[in-house]
Amino acid sequence: GIQVEQSPPDLILQEGANSTLRCNFSDSVNNLQWFHQNPWGQLINLFYIPSGTKQNGRLSATTVATERYSLLYISSSQTTDSGVYFCAVRQGGSEKLVFGKGTKLTVNP
Amino acid sequence: KAGVTQTPRYLIKTRGQQVTLSCSPISGHRSVSWYQQTPGQGLQFLFEYFSETQRNKGNFPGRFSGRQFSNSRSEMNVSTLELGDSALYLCASSLAPEFIETQYFGPGTRLLVL
């Protein structure tokens, strides 16, 4: 099946710093999403981005489908950005999401 | 509009028992998917339901089963619990399979098997 790899696995930042999270996938996909999981386990949709670039406040994402990667940018990070960021992809007509292992982000005050 | 709700939120069982978890989707959503999250395996797809029909199933043993009711609520059942079944079980709902980008996750049920 498709492989989804995220890097880095862990990231520690000071408040106000910027960061880039990467997601590589091994096959073509028709859907790619970024999620944030807070410390209580809740998964929040950040972006649905099978291709192109989207921005939402301090967060933005870019997917280059032809090169099979996606990037999540976090600018001016805040302590509330802490948690685990997951990239997930879908293939075909299924709703099955295949998740990467995640990037654990810690933002210190 | 209320979000996806899952009950119970926390559960402790012993090996060999069975457990039933419940998921109520957002009002109007007819598609429900289930995922298991463990530290070792990460987030893994269990099954998806749409209009009371299982559309897809992940690579889990037959001890894991599920169903969806006419009101779109879904339950999953795990029989003969094993220690390795300890996990966070997440449910997600969407309007329908063609609206997958608007999938919302519930808060999860944390299951501990002793």
- Tens digits of per-residue pLDDT, B18-40? 999 999 999 999 999 999 999 99
Show residues of chain A in contact with B56, CB under 8 Å: 94-96
* DSSP secondary structure, chain B, as one string: ----EEE-SEEEE-TT--EEEEEEPPTT--EEEEEEEETTTEEEEEEEEETTEEEEE-S--TTEEEEE-TTS-EEEEE-S--GGG-EEEEEEEESSGGGGGG-EE---EEEEE-
* Residue that is written with structure tokens 């399979």 in the block: B97
Do residues A47 and A89 make contact, with C-beta atoms less than 8 angstroms apart? Answer: no
Identify the pLDDT of residue B102. Answer: 76
Backbone angles phi, psi at A63, to 5 degrees: -120, 125
In chain A, the residue whose alpha carbon lies closest to the alpha carbon of B34 is A96
pLDDT at A64: 97
Helices (H), A1-109: none
**B90/A93 CB distance under 8 A:** no
Burial of residue A83 (number of CB atoms within 10 Å: 0-12, 13-18, 19+)? buried
Q: Report the residue of chain B nearest A96, measured CA to CA.
A: B45
The pLDDT tens digits of the residues spanning B70-98 come to: 999 999 999 999 999 999 999 999 988 77
Q: Does A9 touch chain B (CB under 8 A)?
A: no
pLDDT at A91: 79
Report pLDDT digits (tens) over B52-61.
999 889 999 9
- Integer-rounded Cα Rg, in Å, for chain B is 13
pLDDT computed for residue A94 by the predictor: 66
Nearest to B101 among A31, A35, A86 (CB): A31
pLDDT band at B13 (very low <50, low <70, confident <90, very high): very high
CA dist B33 and B54 (Å) reads 10
The Cα B99–Cα A8 span in angstroms is 30
Report residue A50: phi and psi, to 5°.
-65, -20
pLDDT of residue B97: 75
Share of chain B above pLDDT 70, in %: 98
| B100 vs A31, A42, A100: nearest CB | A31
With 0-12 CB in 10 A as exposed, 13-18 as middle and 19+ as buried, what is A56?
A: exposed
Q: Distances in Å between the alpha carbon of A75 and those of A13, A72, B6, B84?
A: 11, 10, 33, 38
Q: Rounded to the nearest 5 degrees, what angle is found at the Cα of B101, between the Cα atoms of B97 and B102?
A: 85
Which residues in chain B are contacts of A88 at CB distance < 8 A?
43
Check whether A95 has a pLDDT greater than 70.
Answer: no
Spatial separation of the C-alpha atoms in residues B100 and B86, rounded to whole Å:
28
pLDDT number for residue A39: 86
